[in-house]
Amino acid sequence: GAVVSQHPSWVICKSGTSVKIECRSLDFQATTMFWYRQFPKQSLMLMATSNEGSKATYEQGVEKDKFLINHASLTLSTLTVTSAHPEDSSFYICSARRQGRMGGVSYNEQFFGPGTRLTVL
């Protein structure tokens, strides 16, 4: 099956530092990946859509200069939280879209990574 990994699974950093989170599709190529944020006991909120070889598309209210997204290859997207502050502490989840055709039928499905817990002190 399609597997998406995230690294690290958890990270603790000091306020003001930058943190990079990686999202990898292990057994398929993903031209599109998504980054979500999930606060405790809350739902997933889409932050941005990451497209391989082009700029990410950010959702309204998400600071693109704070949450830098790079999708440099078909299997890797990175989210960098710059100058992190305690309010950035959250669970960050990525997903990768697998698409194609098999037997004349198109398929298109998102596969989710296990998430990264970020704690900013």
Partner 1 sequence: AQSVTQPDIHITVSEGASLELRCNYSYGATPYLFWYVQSPGQGLQLLLKYFSGDTLVQGIKGFETEFKRSQSSFNLRKPSVHWSDAAEYFCAGATDSWGKLQFGAGTQVVVTP
Contacting positions for partner 1 (CB under 8 A): 4, 9, 34, 41-46, 49, 93, 95, 108-115
Q: Are 37 and 82 in contact, with CB atoms under 8 Å apart? A: no
Nearer to partner 1, 17 or 42 (CB): 42
Cα separation, 107 vs 64, whole angstroms: 31
Output the smallest distance, CB 24 to partner 1, in A: 12
Output the smallest distance, CB 37 to partner 1, in A: 11
Strand-strand pairing, 116-120 and 10-13: parallel
Residues 6+ apart with CB under 8 A from 13: 19, 84, 118, 119, 120, 121
- Assigned token pair, 73: 């290859």
Output the smallest distance, CB 43 to partner 1, in A: 4
